[in-house]
Structure 1
Amino acid sequence: MTKVLVIGSEGQLGQDIKSSHTVINNCNFHFTSIESLNVTDQQAIKNTIEADNYDYIINCTAYTAVDKAEEETILANEINHIALKIIGEVSASTNSKVIHVSTDYVFDGKQHRPYIESDDTCPNSVYGKTKLQGEQELLNSNSNSIIVRTSWLYSIYGNNFVKTMIRLGTEREQLGVIFDQVGTPTFSNDLANVILHIINCDIDQSIPFSSGIYHYSNEGVCSWYDFTLAIHQLNNISCKVLPIETKDYPTAAPRPHYSVLNKGKIKDIYKIQIPYWKDSLKKCIKELNS
């Protein structure tokens, strides 16, 4: 029986993988949380991976507090960078294939066309820098690794932009949201299903495990302002949303102004169709309201 280890199952993506993993037949999944596997403990990572003969490892864990990372640099580095070095080294020794989730923050956002996987990286935050270092460590140590960069992740689980805008929209009469940062929202459930699809294709030998970097988000483009309007519209929230510039909402860590990802590679190799962001948002809102 195929064995899969999921590291970081308490986060948005980890919970979506947990809720969808039964789509793969004859596959035994082992899910870890921060309580059962603290990825800042290098020996614990080693012990967990070596405890069983895992065919695949999915790493969903990450330090994602973008602004706090500017101060908590050591912790962000341990989770986003050093942990990946250990995961890569140990998984290589156990012949386990790894799927790791990364971020659009490895780019500086100064480009004006969708980023492809081979574009030069230039992170401008501690979060982005540590995530890029984690990518590099994993690819250097385990050649059987896939990295999926994604953007603007949200889910029915955990805390995220969608839930925050719903809450603020019901609490306030007026809300200012940034309009000059452009990207694409990603419904975590869609990403979870793609990751499971990659594994399933390798198991049934329809599409071999193809190592390297891939980009995945939902289709389409919007600003945070557009995203908020769509969230409120689907929830019948009457809060007035005002467009504001990035300079009017200063943050400790700079955000990419343009982080649209080109998904051509993952669509071509894994033969997938990616949902439009508004369609996936409708699904999420429906689940949140049910």
Structure 2
Amino acid sequence: MTRILLTGITGQVGQELQQTLASLGEVVSVGRDRVDFSQPEAVQQVMETVKPTIVVNSAAYTAVDKAESEPDLANLVNAVSPGILAKAAKSIDAGLIHISTDYVFDGTQSSPYLETDATNPLGVYGSTKLAGEEAVRAACDRHFIIRTAWVYGAKGKGNFVKTMLRLGADREELKVVTDQIGVPTWSKDLAGAIAHLAPQLSANTAGTYHYTNSGVCSWYDFAVAIFEEAEQLGFPLKIKRVIPITTPEYPTPAKRPAFSVLSLKKVSTLLGTHPPYWRESLREMLAELKATGH
């Protein structure tokens, strides 16, 4: 019987994973109330108690700007605890699936990043996530590190789509950066892919994979698409104009990569299919949001 330990269940990916992993065996889901990743000893303890065959770690410190002023906390959650999780997994011969980010790259490329391309994070968040990857690689050979990007979903608290819908209901005009290029990823698609990959985790397949939706856009393109799709679905909107601006016109504490499109070739081979196009997934997510009233 496969026993899966799932961490970070209050997050938007964690909530979807609870459903997608259920068909694979017994899922033991833990949130911050049971395992606080800022307290590494709690991580060790839960591994000894649960003794899983696979660990799926979706717990993370994801507040990119806030991380600049809380580097120690971000490091505990994103680097130290995943390392402890990996050591514990190795000691009980469990596999580990760990979620990472496009922010391990500096964004200076103009073609999609391969898993083997050089990393060079621009801020604390990316640096701590990279340190987490390295800790997992060093401690547990049977691992999948899955880098993703621009995640949003109907579940979970804040994300770009929900922010745009909230602001678009109140304002006629919004300014959104147009010179940061990437790919939005629906948390439900990501969780489905992870459930598909989990049974394939072995010494032969272990390693780093990139998973996002297919296609490419800027944050500006994404915002425009959100409003177009939401309007068709009858969301209450006041918005009339989305104005493209540059990154320097919208300064933030953390620097972000200007181009962080991830290559999907490697993961598509293992999945046997190409990830869905980002705009189709956005449409599905908005329909779900409308239906459930999240």
Q: Given the two structures, how large is their TM-score scaled by the length of structure 1?
A: 0.95
Q: What code does the residue aligned with 1:62 have?
A: A
How far is the alpha carbon of 1:210 from its aligned partner? 1.3
Farther off after superposition, 2-11 or 37-46: 37-46
- Give the Cα separation in 2 of the matches to 1:269 and 1:29: 23
Q: Tell me if structure 2 keeps the 8 A contact 1:8–1:61.
A: yes
Partner of 1:191: 190
User: Are positions 1:16 and 2:16 aligned together?
Assistant: yes
Partner of 1:219: 214
- Give the Cα separation in 1 of the matches to 2:3 and 2:150: 30
Partner SS state of residue 4, structure 1: strand
Q: What code does the residue aligned with 1:211 have?
A: A
Q: What code does the residue aligned with 1:28 have?
A: E
Partner SS state of residue 51, structure 1: helix
- In structure 2, stretches of 5+ residues that fail to align are 232-236
Q: What code does the residue aligned with 1:39 have?
A: F
How far is the alpha carbon of 1:228 from its aligned partner? 0.4
Partner of 2:283: 282
Q: State the Cα deviation string for residues 159-183 of structure 1 (Å, max 9, x = none).
A: 1000000110111010000001000
How far is the alpha carbon of 1:201 from its aligned partner? 4.1
Q: State the Cα deviation string for residues 6-57 of structure 1 (Å, max 9, x = none).
A: 0111101000111333333xx0000000001111222211110111331100
- Give the Cα separation in 1 of the matches to 2:128 and 2:271: 28
Partner SS state of residue 108, structure 1: coil
How far is the alpha carbon of 1:208 from its aligned partner? 7.6
Partner of 2:205: 210
Partner of 1:169: 168
Q: What code does the residue aligned with 2:224 have?
A: L
User: Are positions 1:5 and 2:5 aligned together?
Assistant: yes
Inter-CA distance 16–63: structure 2 relative to 1 (3 Å threshold): same
Partner of 1:270: 271
1:135 aligned to which of 116, 133, 136? 133
Q: Tell me if structure 2 keeps the 8 A contact 1:166–1:232.
A: yes
Q: Tell me if structure 1 keeps the 8 A contact 2:214–2:274.
A: no
* Runs of 4+ with deviation above 2 angstroms: 19-24
Partner SS state of residue 9, structure 2: coil
Partner SS state of residue 36, structure 1: coil
Q: Tell me if structure 2 keeps the 8 A contact 1:3–1:55.
A: yes
Partner SS state of residue 147, structure 2: strand
How far is the alpha carbon of 1:85 from its aligned partner? 1.3
Inter-CA distance 187–209: structure 2 relative to 1 (3 Å threshold): farther
Q: Tell me if structure 2 keeps the 8 A contact 1:199–1:209.
A: no
User: Are positions 1:69 and 2:72 aligned together?
Assistant: no
2:223 aligned to which of 228, 235, 245? 228
Q: What code does the residue aligned with 2:251 have?
A: P
1:86 aligned to which of 73, 84, 87? 84
Q: State the Cα deviation string for residues 64-92 of structure 1 (Å, max 9, x = none).
A: 01011001010000000101111111111
**Among the aligned pairs, what percent are the same residue?**
42
- Give the Cα separation in 2 of the matches to 1:29 and 1:22: 6
Q: Tell me if structure 2 keeps the 8 A contact 1:153–1:188.
A: yes
How far is the alpha carbon of 1:216 from its aligned partner? 0.5
- Give the Cα separation in 2 of the matches to 1:276 and 1:189: 13
Q: Tell me if structure 2 keeps the 8 A contact 1:170–1:239.
A: no
Q: How many residues align?
A: 284
Partner SS state of residue 67, structure 2: helix
- Give the Cα separation in 2 of the matches to 1:138 and 1:199: 16
User: Are positions 1:155 and 2:156 aligned together?
Assistant: no
- Give the Cα separation in 1 of the matches to 2:266 and 2:218: 24
Q: What code does the residue aligned with 2:187 have?
A: S
Q: Tell me if structure 2 keeps the 8 A contact 1:66–1:127.
A: yes
- Give the Cα separation in 2 of the matches to 1:145 and 1:68: 29
Q: Tell me if structure 2 keeps the 8 A contact 1:106–1:122.
A: yes
How far is the alpha carbon of 1:239 from its aligned partner? 2.9
